[in-house]
Amino acid sequence: MNRLLPLASVAALFAIACDPAPEEPGAAEDYSWVLPDSRILVDMPEARRSAGDDSELRAESLSVAADVNGFIDDVLTDIGAITEFEPTWGNEEETQALWGPWTDNGVDGALYIQLMDDGSYEWALIGRPEGTDDDAWLPLVAGIVDPGATDTTGAGAFAVDFAAISTLDPNLDATGTFASTYDVRANTVDAEAAYEGFSENAGDPVIDAVYRYGNDNAGGYLDLAYEGEATDGGALETHIMRTRWVKGGAGRADAYVTGGDLGPLVYQASECWDEGGIVVFDENNYELTTSGNVDDCAFADAQWNDDGV
């Protein structure tokens, strides 16, 4: 898709200041509780194996969830390992917490969190070549947390700059960004994630994709939108899919492809599966087939996100 996320621009996130050390350090307030945690991961349940045909749309949804969770979990693991320790520095006003700087494999690193005047927080994981000047710091991951956050609820956003990371690691050649927004409440989570201009290696295809997902006590959902070639005509088609599941694992996915070489044509497909991930109902208008019983679906009706994510 040609947009990223409805949040402060990624450029604005990476414009967060990169001078990690207060000139006159004072008491360090530990603000690590405002950072995102594992609740912002896609919580799609694994299947309880049983006999029958596996759901292809469910498998695709699980693959997407694994991709999104992988990038987010990398960030959570890094900041979690750092904040197991007490902050290293703080400013006299006790509005900033700094971990580091430390040196690892020729790179200086630091993590800081800043309480802003409006009650929001800015945070960044930053790096620079070992021993270089302060103006060499690069924001590798940069985030914001909205005012009103508590130790159990909060909303915010963060973005990962792969080009900056590759600058500091000669073994990497990735480009683009991965970004996430989230809103964590007492029993619910709603979030978005997106790749923009992402490529893991030079010469690899560039990925632009947007995801929306959420979880609550009853189950969850995952929306996917991306542009890719579904025909041999060369133009990119728009792919949309919504996957829903209940807590036990049964679920339904509804997908369609349109635009590009398809023009006004819309190809649709739906699959429902049981707790074992086995198809209990499917239909599509490409092969004009229907099988199973829609009454066995965890969700009776097809559903797509109105704005296509």
- One pLDDT digit (tens) per residue for the chain, 309 residues: 333 333 344 555 556 545 555 555 555 789 999 999 999 999 998 755 555 578 889 999 999 999 999 999 999 999 999 999 999 988 888 898 999 899 998 999 999 999 999 999 999 999 999 989 988 999 999 999 999 999 899 999 999 999 999 999 988 899 999 999 999 998 999 999 999 999 988 888 888 888 999 999 999 999 998 877 777 777 888 889 999 999 989 999 999 888 888 778 888 999 999 998 999 999 998 778 899 999 999 999 999 876 555
- Side-chain-side CA neighbours of 233 within 13 Å: the count stands at 11
pLDDT tens, position by position, 242-252: 999 999 899 99
Residue 307 confidence (pLDDT): 57
What single string gives the DSSP state of each residue in 70-139?
Answer: HHHHHHHHHHHHHTTSPPSEE-TTS-EEEEEEEEETTEEEEEEEEE-TTS-EEEEEEEEETT--GGG-EE
Residue 1 confidence (pLDDT): 30
Query: How many of the other CB atoms lie within 10 Å of CB of 116?
Result: 12
Q: What DSSP element (H or E) covers 37?
A: none
Residue 296 confidence (pLDDT): 96
Report domain extents, the chain: 1-35+83-204
Longest pairwise C-alpha distance within the chain: 71
Residue 2 confidence (pLDDT): 30
